[in-house]
Amino acid sequence: MQADIQYHMQLITQHDLSKIFNINSKAMSELIHAKKLPIEKIEGNRILLNPDAIIDFIMKPDVENEKFLEEFKKKLWEVNPAAMQAIQEYGSHFTEEPWQLKKFYLSKVKSKKFGFLYYVRYLVDGKAVPSNWCTHTNDREAAERWAEENRERLLANYFNRDNVEKTYGELYSVLRKYYKANSIYLKSDANRGRALGEKVRLAYDHFIVKRFIPFLKKSGITKLEQIDTPLLSKFRNELLNGTKTRVPIKTKTAKKYICCISQMYDNFISEGYTKINPVKSMVHIKKNDVTLRGCYEITKLKGVFNKKWDNQIHYLLCLIINTTGIGNSEIKQIKVSDIFTIGKIHFIDINGKVKTVNRVRIVPIHDFVYSKIMAYIRKMNFGEDDLIFGNVKMHTFIRANAELGKYTKYTPEKLKSENITFYSGRHFWKTLMDSEHLGDVEEYFMGHKVSGDVSKSYNHKDKQGKKKLLERAEKVFEILNKYVFK
């Protein structure tokens, strides 16, 4: 019979023969190592077999197939039973047809309530989708039914997730993403000629995420159409008057942030997701409409800073703002290297931290204040480039003001009724200087812009030289000695 077979073949590799026999490489290796199929030749890592030897094996295999396979299976279990168990588990994910993969496979995930639940991972074109879904059951048959029934829906949502450009229906998702860098919303605004600078974008993003979204959630808002003019007016009042954890902001700043909300609504209108901009209906607010910030009477701080306070940071913050007129944000930006001396007088360089008329601003520090700041710097072992108060949070300013109120015998009720906050220290300093007729002091040391008056606009104080500057600083120190320090 063998002689009747006509063929013209080259040597056959072990890998090719395993495909012909439809057995795996382990079984193929066992046949060769058992010398059921003699090796003709070895080239590198390839084992080559002679077609004649293969035909001889087929004609007279010299092995009882079932017995051979049983012995081979027993040997594999002896070699590595854990691996065999894992292979069988893996094999359960396949159909009866050889190597035909199912459309999904299930895995067990621990559950406190149910012991475990089945999660499904789908296979597309032979590759597992890098996401899995809970089937909400620990019954395998029920999990398989769930996986089959929900396959198309889940995969469609998964593969289309990046194609959904705008989800205006998801209010908080839109608000959080609106002012992020390169957002689709800002690109749309830019196309309409409303591009934002990076600094403004960052400020708006922080405001929306940290102030506007918390307010909306506190108010129970879940949909865009629930935001109306009365609600936004309430929000603006909260910004202007402050809360238990937030200090009030200036009218000008509040207007700027309300405008950033208006910009979002203009976008929503252009995209057809709403018809009106509730910001447009808000009553215009003037500076005089806001409760004016109060400050301490000029005699109330006498000797307060000569006492030992409970909290050193609170002490230093209140000491600086009430004796220099430097604001909250400026205090947080002071570096050790910003402190310098002209003659015998110490100054803090505020240049670049605020915008002034000529971008020139240095603030004199009383010797007493200088000694306290330097002692703190030495204690903390700060370097020249370190921020002295860079880690101070908003609540620290609030608590510092409360501690100052305790030492001045201002009750929390009195502080609230007179609208005295930490920032009031800047008002105190200016009021103190005005009481001693030290005119134009804000143009020297406070960073305010000069008025529209022509004479002031052309009178550049920074060009009058060091002598005038030091004389004015000495006058400031005299007033502080009279009203603040013992």
Is the C-alpha dihedral spanning 124, 126, 131, 134 positive or negative?
positive
Is residue 180 in some structural domain?
yes
pLDDT of 155 above 80: yes
Q: Which of 106, 138, 159 corresponds to the end of one domain? A: 159
C-alpha span between 40 and 277 (Å, rounded): 85
Question: Considering only 104-118, 211-225, 359-373, 450-464, which range has the smallest mean pLDDT?
Answer: 450-464
pLDDT of 165 above 60: no
* pTM (global) more than 0.85: no
Look-up: residue for tokens 């999904």? 104
CATH number at residue 387: 1.10.443
Beta bridge partners of 474: none
Is residue 433 in some structural domain?
yes
C-alpha span between 135 and 373 (Å, rounded): 62
Question: Considering only 268-272, 325-329, 353-357, 360-364, which range has the smallest mean pLDDT?
Answer: 353-357
pLDDT of 31 above 80: no
**Helix (H/G/I), strand (E/B), else coil: 341:** strand
Question: Which pLDDT score, from 0 to 100, does residue 467 have?
Answer: 79
Check residue 154 and give left, alpha or beta (phi > 0: left; psi -120 to 50: alpha). Answer: alpha
The number of angstroms, rounded, from the C-alpha of 167 to the middle of its chain's C-alpha atoms is 20
C-alpha span between 145 and 184 (Å, rounded): 39
Question: Which pLDDT score, from 0 to 100, does residue 482 have?
Answer: 92
C-alpha span between 354 and 334 (Å, rounded): 12
- Whether residue 144 is found in the same domain as residue 254: no
Query: 366 burial class (0-12, 13-18, 19+ CB within 10 angstroms)?
Result: buried
What is the side-by-side strand order in the sheet with 39-43?
A: 12-13, 46-49, 39-43
- Whether residue 132 is found in the same domain as residue 205: no
Pairing of strands 345-349, 362-365: antiparallel
C-alpha span between 112 and 259 (Å, rounded): 49
Total domains in the chain come to 4
CB neighbours of residue 312 within 10 Å:
13
C-alpha span between 155 and 133 (Å, rounded): 10
Do 422 and 401 contact (CB within 8 A), yes or no? yes
Q: Which of 79, 109, 132 corresponds to the end of one domain? A: 79
Own/partner pairs for 65-68, CB < 8 Å, 24+ apart? none
Question: Which pLDDT score, from 0 to 100, does residue 243 have?
Answer: 79
Is the C-alpha dihedral spanning 232, 236, 239, 242 positive or negative?
negative
Do 132 and 121 contact (CB within 8 A), yes or no? yes
Range of the domain at 358: 304-483
**Helix (H/G/I), strand (E/B), else coil: 364:** strand
C-alpha span between 452 and 459 (Å, rounded): 12
Helix axes 251-270, 229-241, angle to 10 degrees: 150
* CA separation, residue 470 to residues 29, 143, 179, 314, 477 (Å): 96, 82, 46, 29, 11
Question: Which pLDDT score, from 0 to 100, does residue 272 have?
Answer: 76
- Whether residue 316 is found in the same domain as residue 428: yes
- Whether residue 320 is found in the same domain as residue 452: yes
C-alpha span between 423 and 402 (Å, rounded): 12
Question: Which pLDDT score, from 0 to 100, does residue 69 have?
Answer: 61
Rg (CA), the chain: 40
- Whether residue 9 is found in the same domain as residue 131: no
pLDDT of 433 above 90: no
Own/partner pairs for 211-219, CB < 8 Å, 24+ apart? 211/239, 211/246, 211/257, 212/175, 212/257, 212/261, 213/172, 213/175, 213/176, 216/171, 216/172, 216/175, 217/172
Do 211 and 257 contact (CB within 8 A), yes or no? yes
Is residue 49 in some structural domain?
yes
Do 309 and 403 contact (CB within 8 A), yes or no? yes
Write the pLDDT tens digit of every residue in 338-358. 999 988 899 998 865 544 444
Alpha helix (H) ranges present in 271-418? 312-324, 328-332, 367-380, 394-407, 412-417
Q: Which residue has the higher pLDDT, 464 or 117?
A: 117
C-alpha span between 326 and 338 (Å, rounded): 13
Question: Which pLDDT score, from 0 to 100, does residue 370 have?
Answer: 95
Banded pLDDT at 64 (limits 50, 70, 90): low
Question: Which pLDDT score, from 0 to 100, does residue 61 have?
Answer: 59
Banded pLDDT at 292 (limits 50, 70, 90): low
Is residue 434 in some structural domain?
yes
Beta bridge partners of 62: none
Q: What 8-state DSSP symbol labels residue 195?
A: -
- Whether residue 467 is found in the same domain as residue 426: yes
Is residue 88 in some structural domain?
no
State which of 157-166, 419-428, 439-448 shows the largest mean pLDDT: 419-428
pLDDT of 42 above 60: yes
- Whether residue 339 is found in the same domain as residue 475: yes
Question: Considering only 67-81, 323-337, 421-435, which range has the smallest mean pLDDT?
Answer: 67-81
- Whether residue 386 is found in the same domain as residue 444: yes
- Whether residue 473 is found in the same domain as residue 427: yes
- Whether residue 371 is found in the same domain as residue 463: yes
Is residue 294 in some structural domain?
no
- Whether residue 281 is found in the same domain as residue 401: no
- Whether residue 319 is found in the same domain as residue 466: yes
C-alpha span between 8 and 18 (Å, rounded): 20
Look-up: residue for tokens 């789908």? 122
E strand map for 198-269:
none
The number of angstroms, rounded, from the C-alpha of 147 to the middle of its chain's C-alpha atoms is 35
Is residue 258 in some structural domain?
yes
Query: 398 burial class (0-12, 13-18, 19+ CB within 10 angstroms)?
Result: middle
